[in-house]
């Protein structure tokens, strides 16, 4: 037996070890889950289907289609997780359960951070060679991204709940921020919404730069949208009042100093 084999045989789930259910003589080499795939790993994760979702080499217009599809498809998965977490956070807020909502909002923002980081991978493509990929995209446009569309859809409900809680407690945003320590959880919630807003905008900024670097900033997209429109979207925000409050705090501090 090779050294690797010996090591593997001692790992849980390999060889004739013990599982959580205690000692037994189960054959761990055989899958127990239903579905296609040689192992439970492949069956549970449905890797056959997942890995068939990218064009095979013979169908690729350019080999970088694998890179392009990987970045897009994984972005859709992270966005799906993000908006599901936001939607669940809204339910917690409706039940006035702030702590679990905060936990899920942290995850959602982290998802957007991850897809922002992976935009770097697209800049590994040559702008000229990308034109070969672009030819096979049809009218495909990021405006039709289900993940981003859902992320936008779920955003307003968060603000609705924040404002409802503020009203119930007789607070406005300026007071919440000035007396943040007295209303710590609610203050954390306002900051979590700011974070969600900021992460989505940071994605937009980064995406805009990637687009400008690869196809240019004075061209139109595959669905006829001028890239300049993306540049303008950078200046929009989901919760303008959460940004405006900072102006008010600075003005208030100035007044106090005078």
Residues that bind ligand HEM (CB under 6 A): 71-72, 75, 122, 130, 141-143, 145, 148, 204, 207, 210-211, 214-215, 221-223, 225, 227, 230, 233
Task: Return the number of the residue (29 or 131) whose C-beta is nearest ligand HEM.
Answer: 131
Cβ atoms of 139 and 210 within 8 Å: the answer is no
CB of 40 to ligand HEM, least distance (A): 31
> At 119, phi and psi to the nearest 5?
-60, -25
The DSSP secondary structure of 95-141, one letter per residue, reads TT-HHHHHHHHHHHHHHHHHHHHGGGGGGGS-HHHHHHHHTTSTT--
Q: Closest approach of Cβ 209 to ligand HEM, in Å?
A: 11
Cβ of residue 154: shortest distance to ligand HEM, in angstroms? 15
Spatial neighbors of 50 by CB under 8 A, at least 6 apart, are: none
CB of 117 to ligand HEM, least distance (A): 12
Q: Which residues contact 200 (CB under 8 A, 6 or more apart)?
A: 112, 151, 155, 238
| Chain position carrying tokens 């306002």 | 190
Q: Residue 108 or residue 221: which is nearer to ligand HEM going by CB? A: 221
Determine the Cα–Cα distance for residues 13 and 1; give it in Å rounded to an integer: 18
Q: How far is the CB of 159 from ligand HEM (least distance, A)?
A: 18
CB of 220 to ligand HEM, least distance (A): 7
Helix (H) or strand (E) holding 63: none
Least distance CB 226 / ligand HEM (angstroms): 8
Q: Which of 45, 177, 58, 70 is nearest to 125 (CA)?
A: 70
**CA angle centred on 240, ends 112 and 191, rounded to 5°:** 55
Q: Of 121 and 252, which CB lies nearer to ligand HEM in the complex structure?
A: 121
The smaller minimum CB distance to ligand HEM, of residues 122 and 189, is found at 122
Q: Which is nearer to ligand HEM, 35 or 156 (CB)?
A: 156
Q: Could you give the CA distance from residue 115 to residue 203 in angstroms, rounded to a whole number?
A: 8
With contact defined as beta carbons under 8 Å apart, do 147 and 231 qualify? Answer: no
By beta-carbon proximity to ligand HEM, the closer residue of 101 and 112 is 112
**Residue 10 or 218 having the CB closest to ligand HEM:** 218
Neighbours of 41 (CB within 10 A): 12
């Amino acid at each position: 037996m090779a050294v690797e084999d010996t090591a593997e045989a001692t790992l849980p789930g390999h060889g004739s070890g013990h599982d959580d259910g205690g000692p037994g003589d189960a054959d761990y080499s055989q899958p127990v889950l239903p579905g296609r795939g040689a192992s439970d790993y492949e069956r549970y994760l449905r890797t056959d289907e997942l890995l068939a979702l990218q064009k095979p080499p013979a169908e690729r217009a350019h080999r970088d289609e694998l890179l392009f599809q990987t970045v897009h498809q994984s972005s859709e998965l992270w966005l799906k997780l993000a908006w599901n977490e936001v939607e669940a956070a809204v339910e917690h807020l409706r039940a006035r359960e702030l702590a679990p909502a905060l936990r899920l909002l942290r995850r959602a923002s982290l998802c957007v951070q991850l897809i922002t980081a992976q935009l770097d991978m697209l800049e590994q493509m040559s702008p000229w060679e990308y034109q070969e990929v672009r030819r096979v995209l049809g009218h495909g446009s990021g405006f039709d991204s289900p993940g981003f569309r859902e992320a936008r859809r779920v955003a307003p409900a968060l603000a609705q709940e924040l404002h409802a809680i503020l009203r119930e407690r007789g607070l406005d945003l300026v007071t919440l921020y000035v007396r943040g320590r007295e209303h710590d959880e609610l203050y954390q919630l306002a900051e979590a919404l700011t974070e969600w807003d900021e992460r989505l905008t940071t994605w937009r900024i980064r995406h805009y730069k990637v687009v400008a670097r690869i196809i240019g900033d004075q061209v139109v997209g595959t669905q006829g949208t001028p890239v300049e429109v993306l540049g303008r979207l950078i200046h929009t925000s989901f919760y303008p009042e959460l940004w405006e409050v900072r102006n008010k705090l600075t003005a208030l501090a100035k007044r106090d100093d005078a």
